Structure 1
């Protein structure tokens, strides 16, 4: 399967238009049509309905495979580029919102003191963006958080060889409005809240899809979707009663109008990890080790 054809298919499916995909990819519309026809001929089935443009059942299934396949190809190219590149003059660190901490200042100051000519940039991104941009070489190092069973690593997409270093594990709590009838509970079983109203905030709180998987239920339906990396905005919505959110306890403590109630079942923790692709003893590895030590 030609990856160029696959990229064209993904672009058309996402744009819902052959002409829009052509503009995005820098092709002519005729070339895009030829790419799709060639891919459909290769697979022996129709992948896109033409009017309106939308994926067929086979097209939907191919899209499920296309994202990881193309990401892995991009990761391979970025990995080889890093291997043969000259020593970095700049390091870009991607941090998911709940992995961001004031303790980052210590290792960042240390690396800048020992490497005064090294430029360091910090970008706060959603979790998926951190792993994706690390894979494609836009980021050099990632600090990412998520939900896991105690002592288990985070479940990450297959983006090629990565060095993963555990940083912290801490308790999770449900952010309940102070007036919520369960706000004074000592702890909660998540299953008791499966039918409650939730805020779907995949870049900040624990994604609701993960709650469904962990609890083995189809509950946890969103009343509101929150897109972005501003934790304060999410907490303000939860305090106002727009829905519940599962977050590390320390993120909720001291927030007016909210009561953090710890989760007792299932057994889950909030985990933070450092990710990078460079296994050498260069600045990346030094910074990764320093981040691990400083944030414990």
Structure 2
């Protein structure tokens, strides 16, 4: 017997909330109906999937979650792919981007696309890197722009979300952002290996886990910021809460109360990639061609 996607959705929602009542409110069922759906899924597998007090996945439930979330995403992506050709006017483009993806190169190419198509209407939304692929796969955006740290010409690490085309758009040098009075502020360049014991800002703009992957262990977090506003990150760095890495163009000319020093080693870049599913004729395919040209 194949597992019912509706039951899987209920299971994932309960596990995410850790609550039957919260899942019922999100999905529009009664709490009793949610309990019955979880019981039906457990009966199908012959295994308990959720402990009840507290509500959390059992070992079998944790293993099912590893499969359920990608499977449900693929189902949503398949539905979006079938509906995509008739979903919107040919002149409308829905664009999703991570916080630093819309840089000078992307902005200039969007302006070029709009000059070529005077009727082009662009709707831009920002989202976190871990959500971007799903937003595009599920048809909530036609094109996605992802940014992140990478070695030159290396692709970004994006979550698996089904058939998806990814193409490099731009690569830009990185700089270390330091407080104005920092002892290293006057250097011509810096090696990241020399900064592994410094305090760093943990933020979506510079995920320390990715930095450790690329450079090595270390880079302790002095402060964790969950937002993605560049001005806030610069203010925190200026006040001495931690260092951060940013693309050079993200720091205003003059730097304000921070100093920036280019990274000499290892050779890393800020990379922007375009991702999309199959594109019908119209604005999305036209703009994709300009962005990657």
Aligned residue number for residue 195 of structure 2 = 193
Pick closer, same or farther for the CA change 1:66–1:170 going to 2, 3 Å: same
Is it true that 1:249 corresponds to 2:248 in the alignment?
A: yes
C-alpha separation in 1, matches of 2:240 and 2:88: 53
Aligned residue number for residue 34 of structure 2 = 32
Instruction: Write the mapping of 1:209-248 to structure 2, written as runs, cut at 5 A.
Output: 209-217=209-217, 219-248=218-247
Pick closer, same or farther for the CA change 1:275–1:185 going to 2, 3 Å: same
Is it true that 1:178 corresponds to 2:180 in the alignment?
A: yes
SS in 1 for 2:275: strand
Pick closer, same or farther for the CA change 1:110–1:211 going to 2, 3 Å: closer
C-alpha separation in 1, matches of 2:208 and 2:276: 27
Instruction: Write the mapping of 1:1-296 to structure 2, written as runs, cut at 5 A.
Output: 1-83=3-85, 85=87, 88-102=90-104, 104=106, 106-202=108-204, 205-217=205-217, 219-252=218-251, 254-293=254-293
* Number of aligned residue pairs: 290
C-alpha separation in 1, matches of 2:58 and 2:21: 19
Pick closer, same or farther for the CA change 1:250–1:85 going to 2, 3 Å: closer
Query: Gaps (5+ residues) in structure 1?
Result: none
Query: Gaps (5+ residues) in structure 2?
Result: none
Pick closer, same or farther for the CA change 1:213–1:43 going to 2, 3 Å: farther
Q: C-alpha displacement at 1:282, in angstroms?
A: 2.8
Tell me the C-alpha RMSD between the 2 structures.
Answer: 2.5
C-alpha separation in 1, matches of 2:60 and 2:234: 40
CA contact (8 A) 1:19 1:29 kept: yes
The one-character-per-residue Cα deviations of 1:187-239 (angstroms, maximum 9, x if unpaired) are 3332333332222211xx2211111222342x333232222332111111111
The one-character-per-residue Cα deviations of 1:5-24 (angstroms, maximum 9, x if unpaired) are 22212211222210111111
CA contact (8 A) 2:189 2:263 kept: yes
Of the structure 1 ranges 27-36 and 219-228, higher mean CA displacement relative to structure 2 is found in 219-228
TM-score (norm 2): 0.87
Q: C-alpha displacement at 1:37, in angstroms?
A: 2.4
